Chains A and B, each alone.
Chain A
């Protein structure tokens, strides 16, 4: 007996298929790359990443189609075309895959080597400084655009606590590798327990302690169970999860967008934007606030996609074009 919502189809199932493939590949690939990276050094790691990227590029047809579909949408805007620097063809798509591979390599550098060699150009840091001075926590909306681990390293340097909310088994498995690599590092991971509807209280407790909780909000999770909205994004509409935005409006806390986009070896541009300062609103206003946040998030994400087109790491049918055709 079920009283209301149906399970989410659409983006969640498309993403799940891609996740299974990516997970299978990334698990063995990452373990092997870690071994090479540690034993033979970064230059060998870079060569190996190119080989792995080439393998995936030539064998992952759905991913390649998704990459091209995304690059064409970016290319349809003047700013996006300028940032792409080339036609959205196979070479651009390969560079897209390569950017993903290099970001994984940077993750390994962060976790395996505890590197301090990363250089950051930071915009909007004063927002975090102000919140810290006021003792206020907040929700950080992230995306599969750039590198969360680069952000995490920066937060560590700045002595800020940023918890990562993990929804999926996929993310947990990947993180198992990182735990193996750096057993001494405190992960600050909040694992969303699908068996307990009360686990969301952990987020509220962190925010109340003045800490930040980051949620990757650009993919629909199977646990979202129909709680999604379609919003304009890069010339079409996409299905995004409503839960992070509803949660933010319920907690009435500051909501930030934070992204770290790779600009070269060991170099990242970091952006922090305040989407809302978190004014408390009545229950009847919360849905409206959540919708506004969701739209603002998608607009800013679009802006950064056009600025850093190769940093978008959603290699599946994001717009549902193939599903609908």
Chain B
């Protein structure tokens, strides 16, 4: 999972399968809070899944600027 589109597909799949978010909401510019209604428990859940998938380790300071699905994709892509 190194290409940006692969990361997006994986994140979108997790959001769809595990967080029951409908497919039409899963656009790159979808905002995690305002559009997808994620909360802090979802955020740590998603991050832990990402960590398990990529072997990366995240901290709050790293993630503060993340607002959209694309931000997650860019963040992970830059570090892989």
Give 29 pairs: A residue, B residue, CB < 8 Å, sorted on A. A1-B34, A2-B35, A2-B37, A3-B21, A3-B25, A4-B19, A4-B37, A192-B40, A196-B40, A196-B64, A197-B32, A197-B39, A198-B60, A198-B66, A200-B44, A201-B44, A201-B58, A201-B63, A227-B41, A243-B41, A246-B41, A246-B45, A247-B41, A250-B41, A250-B44, A250-B45, A250-B48, A283-B45, A286-B45
Asked whether A205 is an interface residue with its Cβ less than 8 Å from the other chain, the reply is yes
A204 on interface, CB distance cutoff 8 Å: yes
CB distance from A280 to the nearest CB of B (A): 10
A246 to chain B, nearest CB (A): 5
Which chain A residues lie closer than 8 Å to B20 at the CB level? 4
Residues of A that sit less than 8 Å from B by CB: 1-5, 192, 196-202, 204-205, 223, 225, 227, 243, 246-247, 250-251, 283, 286
Cα of A243 to Cα of B40 in the assembled complex, Å: 9
Q: 7 other contacts beyond A196-B64, A200-B40, with CB at 8 A cut-off?
A: A1-B35, A3-B21, A192-B40, A200-B41, A200-B43, A225-B39, A243-B40
Task: Give 10 nearest A-B pairs by CB, closest first.
Answer: A201-B60, A197-B43, A200-B40, A198-B63, A200-B44, A4-B37, A197-B40, A3-B25, A3-B37, A3-B21
Q: B32: which A residues are within 8 A, CB to CB?
A: 197
Residues of B within 8 A of A2 (CB): 35, 37
Give bound CA distance, A1 to B22, whole Å.
12
Chain B residues 8-24 with CB under 8 Å of chain A are 18-22
Chain B residues at the A interface, C-beta cutoff of 8 Å? 18-22, 25, 32-45, 47-49, 58-60, 63-64, 66
Find the A residue at minimum CB distance from B14: A283
Contacts of B36 in A (CB 8 A): 3-4
Shortest CB-to-CB span from A302 to chain B, Å, is: 25
A202–B33 CA distance with the chains assembled, in angstroms: 19
Chain B residue at smallest Cβ distance from A282:
B52
Residues of B within 8 A of A202 (CB): 60
Please, how many angstroms separate the alpha-carbon atoms of A4 and B15 in the complex?
Answer: 11
Answer whether A197 and B38 are a contact pair too, CB < 8 Å, given A3-B21, A205-B59. yes
If A198-B43, A201-B44 touch, whether A5 touches B37 (CB-CB below 8 Å) is yes
Which B residues touch A251, using CB under 8 A? 44
Identify A3's interface contact among B18, B35, B47, B66, CB under 8 A: B35
Contact (Cβ within 8 A) A204 B37: no
Supposing A198-B66, A201-B63, A202-B60 touch, asked if A4 and B41 sit within 8 A by C-beta, the answer is no
A18 to chain B, nearest CB (A): 24
A192 to B32, CA, bound (A): 18
* Contact of A204 with B44 at beta-carbon distance under 8 Å, contacts A2-B37, A197-B38 already known: yes
Report the minimum CB–CB distance from A224 to chain B (whole Å): 8
* Residues of chain A contacted by B58 (CB below 8 angstroms): 201
Q: What is the CB-to-nearest-CB distance from B11 to chain A, in angstroms, rounded to a whole number?
A: 14
Q: For A198, list chain B residues within 8 Å (CB).
A: 40, 43, 60, 63-64, 66
Neighbouring A residues of B64 by C-beta, 8 Å: 196, 198
Give Cα A196–Cα B58 distance, bound, in whole angstroms: 15
Contact of B42 among A197, A205, A223 (CB under 8 A): A197
